[in-house]
């Protein structure tokens, strides 16, 4: 593919990836947006589930990005921690928060992201503030017992796990569930998968790279994911995967906020009150509680 075509596709992707508004995005999100420009969704009927291969290699994208220069809204890459520099056999003590009474409050929700880049993108777009939800990465596992105790103080508290459609992503849900179950004070804390599975990736037409096939002697998929269809298991066995960063940034933010905050209760306004009056009848009037009415005969009893 010619460099001039890649430069034009990258310029189009830069103009679209942060819309609407000024969404902050990662480098891989920009790469997948460029893939959508080079292979638009209109080329395949939307009802046909498919996970197309990447139309351009990531190395070619990086070359075009260097030629393009500065990109507004692009986040800096997250530094990868060097595993050899730390002793994994000795668990570091939990950090003390700046506020001593931070763990004394109840915590209704928590979000664990498989990707450090996705976690940083969500934080950069203030998802943790809008959803009132801390955002962590697998580096924080096992969860601090004081954090789990804060979840246990709230009825219906949930730990959401945002993961890729991959064997590692599906295994992360089991790791988080085990971490929560082993902590004291967990009680009825629920662990919910908010990530992708192969059928989701196919329905969204997400670009799917191909990696090495999983080790047949490895742990394999967790037993809790028995709901995976045989075709999905074959898809994963071939080394296929789909990243959360392949989802358009605006759609990802909407989905995370909707899933984490849960269904929002509609507020009672003057317009809903007028609709209730119209449906109630002529000789009725509203009470102090929305949705209830009294008839004239009821007042004479």
Segments making up each domain of the chain, as ranges: 3-68, 101-261, 270-300
| Virtual torsion, Cα 10, 16, 18, 19, nearest 10 deg | 170
Query: How many CA atoms does the CB half-sphere of 269 hold within 13 Å?
Result: 4
Residues 6+ apart with CB under 8 A from 158: 108, 109, 110, 189, 190, 191, 192
Digit-by-digit pLDDT tens for the chain (301 residues) are: 688 999 999 999 999 999 998 999 999 999 999 999 998 755 555 666 788 999 999 999 999 999 999 999 999 988 876 554 444 444 445 555 545 555 677 889 999 999 999 999 999 999 999 999 999 999 988 988 888 888 988 888 999 999 999 999 999 999 999 999 888 777 789 999 998 999 999 999 999 987 776 655 555 666 565 578 899 999 999 999 999 999 999 999 999 999 998 765 555 554 555 454 444 444 444 555 555 555 555 555 5
Strands 293-295 and 284-286, by their bridges, are antiparallel
Class of the CATH-defined domain 101-261: alpha beta
Q: List % helix, strand, coil for the chain (3-state, nearest 5).
A: 45, 10, 45
Whole-prediction pTM value? Answer: 0.79
Sign of the four-CA dihedral 38, 43, 44, 46: positive
Token pair listed for 160: 């959401």
Token pair listed for 227: 């709901």
Q: Are 132 and 110 in contact (CB under 8 A)?
A: no
Nearest to 153 by CA among 187, 112, 190, 183: 187
Nearest to 136 by CA among 154, 110, 105, 173: 110
Place of tokens 């220069």: 69
For residue 268, the tally of other CB atoms under 10 A from its CB is 12
For residue 198, the tally of other CB atoms under 10 A from its CB is 25
Strands 190-193 and 158-162, by their bridges, are parallel
């Amino acid at each position: 593919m010619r460099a001039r075509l890649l430069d034009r596709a990258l310029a189009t992707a830069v103009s679209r990836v942060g819309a609407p508004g000024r969404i902050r995005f990662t480098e891989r999100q920009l790469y997948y947006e460029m893939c959508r420009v080079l292979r638009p969704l209109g080329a395949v009927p939307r009802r046909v589930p498919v996970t197309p291969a990447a139309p351009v290699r990531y190395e070619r994208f990086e070359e075009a990005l260097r030629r393009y220069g500065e990109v507004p809204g692009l986040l800096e890459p997250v530094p990868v921690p060097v595993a050899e520099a730390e002793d994994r056999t000795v668990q570091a003590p939990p950090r003390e928060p700046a506020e001593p009474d931070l763990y004394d409050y109840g915590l209704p929700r928590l979000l664990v992201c498989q990707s450090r880049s996705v976690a940083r993108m969500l934080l950069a777009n203030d998802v943790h503030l809008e959803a009132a939800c801390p955002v962590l990465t697998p580096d924080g596992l096992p969860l601090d017992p004081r954090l789990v105790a804060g979840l246990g103080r709230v009825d219906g508290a949930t730990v959401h796990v945002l993961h890729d459609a991959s064997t590692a992503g599906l295994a992360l849900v089991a790791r988080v569930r085990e971490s929560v179950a082993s902590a004291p004070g967990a009680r009825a804390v629920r662990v919910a998968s908010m990530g992708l599975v192969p059928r989701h990736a196919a329905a969204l037409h997400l670009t799917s790279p191909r990696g090495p096939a999983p080790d047949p002697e490895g742990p394999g998929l967790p037993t809790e994911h028995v709901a995976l269809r045989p075709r999905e298991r074959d898809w994963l066995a071939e080394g296929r995967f789909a990243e959360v960063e392949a989802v358009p940034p605006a759609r990802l933010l909407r989905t995370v906020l909707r899933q984490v905050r849960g269904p929002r209760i509609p507020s009672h306004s003057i317009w809903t009150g007028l609709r209730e009056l119209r449906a109630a009848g002529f000789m009725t009037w509203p009470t102090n509680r929305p949705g209830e009415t009294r008839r004239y005969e009821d007042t004479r009893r």
